[in-house]
Structure 1
């Protein structure tokens, strides 16, 4: 996939405090990339099991993972080191 790519640049900074923080970070990265407010996006839980991602992040010290899914016209990738990337498709 080519196009615009955004990242939170937080590799390695995620802790187990506040699992829901990851969901908010995902939405913030996408909103920044699209130039809109987070509330302008459709709810993330409509396209992915946010609780599952949050649980993976909580256990990221014991397991490595990379999860990718389509959302808001692009592809989101979340890794166990806390990195979030969003790559928008060419329009």
Structure 2
């Protein structure tokens, strides 16, 4: 079951990039006792997104594009976000 934060992130990324693959994993439980861990979940996330929008762009630029879309979530409930952004056919 996904929470409101993950649902919002999924919606924003689908709107911005029309991904062919989108996986969001809540990794918050593994960060118990770490900074940003509130115990409510959805504070530490792993993201894998594949979209044509990333074709021809460097890894850092892809991450910046994702972070711009998720600016509000990164300023609020999301403490840590691991991003793997690829273009179709890159693996």
Which TM-score applies when normalising by structure 2?
A: 0.33
Report which of the two has the higher share of helix: 2
The structure with higher relative contact order (CA 8 Å, sep 6+) is 1
